[in-house]
Structure 1
């Protein structure tokens, strides 16, 4: 017992030295590599994996009821275009393409009765959970406190409607409206940039100007365009294999895993864009707000 009591002060002293060393190392790294350390700090504050996983789960849970609504009420031309776009996004072939076609087949009266107008409206309203999750992510990325200005709910609906419209036109967009991928990929990059630029501005309620949001929009568009193009190399085989081995449950796992990868990539890219916009080199030109570590100083 006496030896244990004597060890306690030594352990506290070692812990204090360790903390001091870590802080000193962080300060040296911040001096030598400021952008890297600022980005690492932002990743921790955003909690990228938690935020991305929640966003991916909300996207998946929203997609299922919305597919039923689209199948029940959308015109045949919209259903066909949505099916073509989803096949184009994932490069679906074989069993996966057949299953998608079955999901989006013409609606029956029984399906419309089961869905109902009230059910369709409730599905659309509950889908705004994705908008709210994205809004929370944008606030964390830009270090905006929860007690900031309230955002009008119509912004959640507007964001959801525009992204649904963007998904529907993915097929012809990727094909360059008939010209081929040489035009489709640049068009996809430009469209993604505009969508993510508008997404941040809309869901932040105009708390920030347009210019500071541009680096994050460009980085996110670049990363997601690369992921979107390379998905055609992996997703068709993965979906067909899991469908053959595990049925629909396997396809759910593959799609959710892909959504998590996409959401992590988007979270990292948005965070990197915010950090870049707040660095001295760009902050003055873009009119970016000061990072949280500098607020209240001076």
Structure 2
């Protein structure tokens, strides 16, 4: 048994060594995922997204016209496949008949809108840190990135509002809608990386990460209505609002983990020699090596 165990261990080590030699990208990806700390980044991003999305819904219900509120309600319904209790709760917030009341507008107020925008930039900053870690770039200054945080939130609000129409191809075909959603997701994540990285990485090297992220999110968006409504309604009926909050936060963590994984994997793929030659990926910038003696450098 000991001989068999030692033989099995030797075979496993040899298999790993051969895999690392033949497919070095796997080793690079695992090392980079550990350095980026994907799960921690995804959890923080999900928390910031949730803390941004909930106040934005209340602001939207208080200041947006009825047509825009109905469009957002339709998009969220198509995106998550909401029905039953969950759909009724969303309708209470967004599908109010007529214009928002003066009392509700006064409750939200200008100060509330400003506080929501400040909170929303925290989500943008979390996404920016994720992109910078994936590309091993230093943190950019607030003067350069501040307007980009607001622009990113605004673009995503437009994207969420259009997702219902994209999924149905503006009422033409569901299959065409899946294709339109995929193209929109790829374009959005391509632009997101370029924007939040403050144009420090050229467009082409960002394409692998955008394609991976767009593909993964499109699959999750089209399959979410198959199981998410049942889980959400069960949690809402059994545990009330807290159950729905837990379910939505778990779903957000899943989405953010997929985003973190795909963006990081895209950076690794773009820096592989065979891809870097075709995409023009710049060499990673690292700290200058320290001197250990006269005319000698410490090996990296």
2:179 aligned with 1:189, yes or no? Answer: no
Distance 2:155 2:142 in 1: 23
Task: Go from structure 1 to structure 2 and tell me whether the alpha carbon gap of 1:99 and 1:36 turns closer, same or farther (over 3 Å shift).
Answer: same
Return the alpha-carbon distance in structure 2 between the equivalents of residues 159 and 66 of structure 1. Answer: 14
Which secondary structure does the structure 2 equivalent of 1:200 belong to? helix
Q: Distance in 1 between matches of 2:49 and 2:112?
A: 19
Q: SS state of the match for residue 145, structure 2?
A: coil
Match of 2:77 in 1: 87
Which among 4, 19, 22 is matched to residue 32 of structure 1? 22
Q: Find out whether 1:217 has 2:210 as its counterpart.
A: yes
Change (3 A) 1:114 1:49: same
Given that 1:151 and 1:203 are in contact with CA atoms closer than 8 Å, whether structure 2 keeps it comes out as no
* CA drift at 1:27: 7.4
Taking the aligned partners of 1:26 and 1:181, their CA distance within structure 2 comes to 44
Contact persistence 1:30–1:38 (CA under 8 A): no
Corresponding residue for 2:6? none
Q: 1:45 aligns with which of 35, 39, 50?
A: 35
Q: Distance in 2 between matches of 1:66 and 1:250?
A: 21
Number of aligned residue pairs:
276
Give secondary structure in 1 for the equivalent of 2:200.
coil
Q: 1:147 and 1:138 mapped to 2: Cα distance?
A: 11
TM-score (norm 1): 0.87
Q: CA deviation at 1:295?
A: 8.4
Alpha carbons of 1:229 and 1:148: their partners in 2 closer, same or farther (altered >3 Å)?
same
Structure-1 separation of matches of 2:81 and 2:176: 18
Instruction: Identify if the C-alpha distance between structure 1 residues 292 and 50 changes in structure 2 by more than 3 Å, giving closer, same or farther.
Output: farther
Structure 1 residues 28, 205: closer, same or farther in 2, change over 3 A? Answer: same
Instruction: Within 5 Å, give how 1:190-269 maps onto structure 2.
Output: 190-269=183-262
Q: How far, CA to CA, are the matches of 2:247 and 2:85 in structure 1?
A: 14
After TM superposition, give the deviation of residue 25 of structure 1 in Å: 10
The 8 Å contact of residues 73 and 95 in structure 2, kept in 1 or not, is answered as no
Following superposition, the deviation at residue 289 of structure 1 comes to 2.4
Deviation (angstroms), 1:104? 1.2
Q: Which moved more, 1:122-131 or 1:46-55?
A: 122-131
Distance verdict in 2 for CA 1:149–1:96, change over 3 Å: closer
Report if the CA contact (8 A) 1:48-1:268 is conserved.
Answer: yes
Paired with 1:182 and 1:67, the residues of 2 have a C-alpha distance of 29
Q: More deviation in 286-295 or 263-272?
A: 286-295
Q: Distance in 2 between matches of 1:118 and 1:89?
A: 31
Structure 1 contact 174–188 (Cα < 8 Å) conserved: yes
Output one character per residue of 1:43-75: Cα deviation in whole Å (capped at 9) or x when no partner. 011100000000000000001111111011011
Are residues 1:167 and 2:157 paired? Answer: no
Pair 1:97–1:254, CA change in 2 (3 A): same
Residue 103 (structure 1) shift: 1.3
CA RMSD of aligned residues (A): 2.4
Residue in 2 aligned with 1:70?
A: 60
1:114, CA displacement in angstroms? 1.0
Q: Distance in 2 between matches of 1:240 and 1:199?
A: 33
Q: What is the alpha-carbon distance in structure 2 between the residues aligned to residue 26 and residue 133 of structure 1? A: 35
Q: How far apart are residue 284 of structure 1 and its match? A: 1.2
Give the whole-Å Cα distance in 1 for the aligned partners of 2:217 and 2:260: 11
Distance 1:33 1:150 in 2: 41
Displacement of 1:110 after TM fit?
1.9
Unaligned stretches of 5+ residues in structure 1: 1-23
